[in-house]
Amino acid sequence: MSQKKVRVRFAPSPTGGLHLGGVRTVLFNYLFARQHQGEFVLRIEDTDQTRFVPGAEEYIVECLRWCGLEPDESPEKGGPYAPYRQSERKPLYRQYAETLVATGHAYYAFDTPEELEAMREAEKTKGNHSPQYNQQIRTGMRNSLTLDAATVKELLDKGTPHVVRIKMPDNETVSFTDMIRGEVSFQTSTVDDKVLLKADGMPTYHLAVVVDDYLMRITHAFRGEEWLPSSPVHILLWRYLGWETEMPQWAHLPLILKPDGNGKLSKRDGDRLGFPVYAMNWTDPKTGELTKGFRENGFLPEAFVNMLAMLGWNDGSGQEIFSLPELVEKFSITRVHKGGAKFDYDKAKWFNHEYIVKTPDAELAALLEPVLAEKHVISTPEYTALVAGLVKERCHFVNEIWDHGFFFFQRPSTYDVASVKPKWTPEKQAFFEAWSVMLGSQTEFTAEALENGFKQLAADKGLKPGELQLPFRIMLCGGKFGPPVFVIAETLRQKETIERIVLGLAQINA
């Protein structure tokens, strides 16, 4: 078994945008595959036609691309086990459902929706609040276990709508070793007889996931913890279909929790607390409702991926910043925690900040392009890169380069003159008039030369340079912010610096 080529899969249902937990599942699959020189498959589980949402598959594909976690096989790319969309594999599944019926592990159920509803109502009045089609209930329903063989044949021959259900054994313990949780056991009596094949001939998730993991030679299946309760059904199916020796090793990944640790992080928590929960913006095609994504919120994919890796995993050394190749090398599924990981948006922003600082200035300049275009600012890539380099230490997001450095691209539209006026004197006025003239003949326009000249002029006029720097800053950027003032002047260059002093003085004197 251990000699087999590692094959993992991400098997989303195309029902909407991708939650960050889903992307983390992709990531862990990807890391494991790369680490073992294995293959990573994207399989679209679209057998539930009622939940199908147009655009969701394309969104998933784009999301994987944005994150740099491209699958080796997928509906788009194809591969040796195509098709990779379950709806296109529909004819394949019935034979396995029939085999299960023939071997006594599954049965036909002819109950109509009305009969099922009547059963639920009757059970509820008896005090059973979550009635399920299980070992007790099945005995009172219309299925191939309660009806005689001739009736069943007749119903089938007439094409009576029916489903195929697994026949859960009475009182067995089903156990398996989860790569994260260790030994996990279930009592079969607590699990209902899940539908395997629906009346429309489509398999349910339970049958399709087992058949496809088998046919696609999947060796390790990593999926969210919410699937743990379904695992006894899947394990029994592997066993009943005679494939148990081929069964993948399972790892059920811990939930991503709300910031306060109380329950699973949902899309609504993001809306409520003001942060994204989806990887990218998602617009519901039915309602038009927009759910914000990390990408559009200004996250760099590398930072997003690094942050996700740390939600439930660490390498034990305290290191937090890992490149993707480093993660491939260091990741270990057995070091993933069992407990849920609390989502902390400030920490997510910290990761993004770290990556912004690491990103070459020219790349940041390219990322800032759309923002500049929106502001109708014309800049050269070199100048934008220069500005990005000056302010990136203060930024959590690419857009914040603008917030922290807009005055490099346009003159201030407001001036914080209130900070200057109360202490403004004719001597200061005279200083700045002289300073602007002096700058006109300054041959070396560097921060250092400017600072020296500024201090010298202040000394000549008997003024403290410290008291002059704030007005100078307000003239150049409009407020009390920005990098060192002489660096700002150097970056703005001679002509612009002089013009801003003139404009600034007019504002102060207005």
- The Cα-based distances of 195 to 56, 86, 134, 181, 211 in angstroms read 25, 17, 11, 27, 15
Give the residue closest to ligand GLU by C-beta: 223
Residue 508, token pair as written in the block? 């102060």
**Nearest C-alpha neighbor of 43 from the set 29, 24, 28, 31:** 29
Rounded CA separation 157/415 (Å): 85
Quick one: CA dihedral 476, 480, 483, 487, positive or negative?
A: positive
Candidate list 77, 90, 264, 267, residue with the active-site label: 267
Tokens describing residue 192: 């209902």
CB of 186 to ligand GLU, least distance (A): 16
- Secondary structure class of 172 (helix, strand, coil): coil
Residue closer to ligand GLU (CB basis): 44 or 100: 44
Of 162 and 223, which has the nearer Cβ to ligand GLU? 223
DSSP annotation string for 77-142: TB-TT---BGGGGHHHHHHHHHHHHHTTSEEEE---HHHHHHHHHHHHHTT-SS--S-TTGGGGSS
Closest CA to 162 of 115, 197, 204: 197
| Min CB(99)–ligand GLU separation in Å | 21
The distance of closest approach from Cβ of residue 209 to ligand GLU in the complex, given in angstroms and rounded to an integer, is 5
Is 267 designated active site? yes
Determine contact, residues 482/488, Cβ cutoff 8 Å. Answer: yes
Q: Which is nearer to ligand GLU, 147 or 280 (CB)?
A: 280
Residue 195 Cβ vs ligand GLU, minimum distance, rounded to whole Å: 15
Give the shortest CB-23-to-ligand GLU separation in angstroms: 12
Instruction: CB nearer to ligand GLU: give 264 or 411.
Output: 264
Cβ nearer to ligand GLU, comparing 210 with 492: 210
Binding-site ranges for ligand GLU (CB under 6 A): 11-13, 45, 205, 209, 223, 227
Catalytic residue numbers read 267
